[in-house]
């Protein structure tokens, strides 16, 4: 028999599994049926036998007009959901003409400064028929409201809008750093969004609690789900403390995970996450509505595992990662383009990424049956192992006082960095094989011409902002921003005065600056 390997979570993978590995195992308690508690086998009874997952391609770069053209191409090629990438200044609540934005406008996503940009971004895209996900966190409320305002201009009612805002600011403190305000007011904004959407945009998923970025920073699968679910618990506690009933908002919660090339552990991870969340929602929060206990999630294939060396090999990696997400029961999927380790995807590479999903959905037989790995000795044992490791980490976070307290101590960040260092050492030593990087290299790489963002975009956005400010009613903007600051000092829901300010054509940066004056900005403290 071969040697015992170690999983991405540092757990042993035995060369052979059998019935003895599932002794004292209660299938009814651990598995249930698809679409039934504890949802190990999937959140819907029919899963992909009814219809495939949403094929949601993540895109956005340069100007709103350029991104709009890419969206229309993706829709024409069969994408069933859009996913918007915003540039760094937008993510941080700065306008394109702010000094701090210099050199970053339009680079890692689309620049959105005002309702005029959002109008261009979704020009000729029917918002009553397209589901849109927006990867935005600290200023999530603003981008959602801009989307709603553009929909109103199209004649589309808010009750017809479907999609998701990421709105997961806690993981920004852990793994990404695009936070603006301290945790307490940030959590208040999250709760205000929950309440606003329940009243105004009832089909919208109000948060996508994200482990993806933690995984990209180096978190293991067990850490990814542990830290993500701990953040989810913090959001639920915040909403309940604000006076909401758990079953009024929990059905609109969603999650966002990575899919790595280690297919078996990834399938186990997704199944374990569903089971843990169902138990937490029922036992800790007393949820009664089955939808409150369902962990519905979006998946993106692992960008951090893509290589600039021999980039075409990434096509194989993405196919395996996408298959892991599908076998794990994802509700929507983005497959990365093979050239993303080099630059922004070209039209051709973005189309190939979408075609990868379409092959999985329509040319394989994985959509013919629900939860194909159920009962597999190895997957069931690995599901138990990942669950046990994740629950232990969640208990440590609870002992520290919950996710926010642990973040302030630097616990999650420290754990992720330790795991990332382990992975780096294994790669450097050759113990962990990365094809084309530390084994099977080429003497000389083939030339590749990437897509590049025009640096003139920054000046163009600044000109658009100057025209906007010259044409708008400045007194109306000032009045709306003053009303927002007054609400921020009180307890009213902030999305209503925010919407008034945006309708008056206040910019994203101006609204965020108004709140910075009241709340300040977050400065990380000492680590754990």
- Nearest-angstrom CA–CA distance, 182 and 202: 28
Taking Cα atoms as reference points, which of 404, 273, 259 lies closest to residue 335?
Answer: 259
pLDDT under 70: residue ranges of the chain: 1-2, 28, 451, 525-528
Residue with tokens 């980490």: 393
HEC readout, 215-262: HHCCCCHHHHHHHHHHHHHHHHHHHHHCCCCHHHHHHHEEEEEEECCC
Q: Give me the pLDDT at residue 2, please.
A: 62
| Both tokens assigned to 358 | 């379409």
Query: What pLDDT score was predicted for residue 479?
Result: 98
pLDDT of residue 124: 94
Question: Cα–chain-centroid distance for residue 408?
Answer: 22
DSSP 459-506: HHHHHHHHHHHHHS-HHHHHHHHHHHHHHHHSSS-THHHHHHHHHTT-
Q: Contact at 8 Å (CB) between 323 and 362?
A: no
pLDDT at 527: 46
| CB count in 10 Å sphere of residue 186 | 23
- Which candidate, 46, 40, 140, places its Cα nearest to that of 84? 140
Domain boundaries, given as residue ranges, for the chain: 36-429
Cβ atoms within 10 Å of 499's Cβ, excluding its own: 21
Tell me the CA distances in angstroms from 240 to 191, 202, 234, 417, one per residue in order: 9, 18, 10, 32
Q: What is residue 4's predicted lDDT score, i.e. its pLDDT?
A: 76
Q: State residue 347's pLDDT score.
A: 87
Q: Is the dihedral of CA 164, 165, 170, 171 positive or negative?
A: positive
> For residues 438 and 444, what is the distance between their CA atoms, to the nearest angstrom?
14
10 CB-side CA count, 13 A: 17
Q: Look at residue 1 in the predicted model and tell me its pLDDT.
A: 57
Cross-strand partners of 259: 301
**Two tokens, residue 191:** 């709760």
- Predicted pLDDT at 374: 93
Phi, psi of 447 (to 5 degrees): -65, 145
The rounded distance, in Å, linking the Cα atoms of 347 and 455 is: 20
Q: Is the Cβ–Cβ distance between 380 and 497 less than 8 Å?
A: no
Residue 61 confidence (pLDDT): 84
> Which residues, 6 or more positions from 149, have their beta carbon under 8 angstroms from its beta carbon?
115, 118, 499, 502, 503
Q: What pLDDT score was predicted for residue 528?
A: 39
Residues 6+ apart with CB under 8 A from 40: 30, 31, 32, 271, 274, 275, 383
The confidence score (pLDDT) of residue 228 equals 98
| Fold category of 36-429 in CATH | TIM Barrel (3.20.20)
Query: Which tens digits make up the pLDDT trace of 428-485?
Result: 999 999 999 999 999 888 787 776 778 899 999 999 999 999 999 999 999 999 999 9
């Amino acid at each position: 028999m071969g040697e015992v390997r170690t999983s991405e979570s540092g757990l042993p993978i035995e060369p052979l599994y059998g019935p003895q590995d599932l002794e004292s195992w209660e299938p009814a308690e651990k598995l249930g049926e698809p679409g039934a508690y504890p949802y190990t086998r999937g959140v819907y009874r029919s899963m992909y036998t009814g219809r495939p997952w949403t094929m949601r391609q993540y895109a956005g770069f340069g100007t709103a007009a350029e991104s709009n053209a890419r969206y229309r191409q993706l829709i024409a090629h069969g994408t069933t959901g859009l996913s918007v990438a915003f540039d760094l200044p937008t993510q941080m609540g700065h306008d394109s003409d702010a000094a701090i934005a210099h050199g970053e406008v339009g680079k890692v996503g689309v620049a959105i400064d005002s309702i005029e940009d959002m109008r261009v971004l979704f020009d000729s895209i029917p918002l009553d028929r397209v589901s849109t996900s927006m990867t935005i966190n600290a200023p999530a409320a603003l981008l959602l409201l801009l989307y709603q305002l553009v929909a109103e201009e199209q004649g589309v009612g808010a009750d017809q809008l479907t999609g998701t805002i990421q709105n997961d600011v806690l993981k920004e403190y852990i793994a990404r750093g695009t936070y603006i305000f301290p945790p307490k007011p940030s959590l208040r904004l999250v709760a205000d969004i929950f309440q606003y959407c329940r009243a105004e945009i009832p089909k919208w998923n109000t948060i996508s609690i994200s482990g993806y970025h933690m995984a990209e920073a180096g978190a293991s699968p067990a850490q990814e789900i542990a830290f993500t679910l701990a953040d989810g618990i913090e959001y639920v506690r915040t909403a309940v403390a604000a006076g909401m009933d758990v079953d009024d908002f929990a059905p609109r919660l969603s999650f966002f995970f990575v899919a790595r090339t280690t297919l078996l552990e990834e399938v186990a991870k997704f199944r374990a996450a569903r089971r843990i969340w169902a138990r937490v929602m029922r036992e800790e929060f007393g949820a009664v509505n089955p939808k409150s206990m369902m962990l519905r999630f979006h998946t993106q294939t692992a960008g951090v595992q893509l290589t600039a060396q021999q980039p075409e090999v990434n096509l194989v990696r993405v196919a395996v990662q996408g298959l892991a997400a599908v076998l794990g029961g994802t509700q929507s999927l983005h497959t990365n383009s093979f050239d993303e380790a080099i630059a922004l995807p070209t039209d051709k590479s973005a189309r190939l990424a979408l075609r990868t999903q379409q092959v999985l959905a329509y040319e394989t037989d994985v959509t013919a049956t629900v939860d194909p790995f159920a009962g597999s000795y190895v997957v069931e044992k690995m599901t138990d192992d990942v669950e046990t490791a994740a629950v232990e980490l969640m208990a440590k976070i609870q002992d520290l006082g919950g996710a926010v307290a642990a973040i302030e101590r630097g616990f999650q960040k420290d754990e992720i960095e330790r795991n990332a260092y382990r992975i780096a050492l294994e790669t450097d030593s050759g113990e962990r094989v990365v094809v084309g990087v530390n084994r099977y290299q080429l003497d000389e790489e083939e030339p590749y011409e990437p897509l590049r963002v025009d640096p003139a975009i920054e000046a163009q956005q600044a000109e658009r902002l100057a025209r906007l400010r010259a044409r708008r009613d400045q007194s109306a903007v000032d009045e709306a921003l003053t009303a927002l600051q007054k609400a921020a000092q009180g307890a009213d829901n902030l999305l209503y005065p925010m919407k008034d300010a945006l309708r008056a054509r206040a910019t994203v940066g101006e609204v965020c600056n108004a709140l910075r004056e009241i709340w300040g900005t977050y400065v990380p403290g000492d680590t754990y």
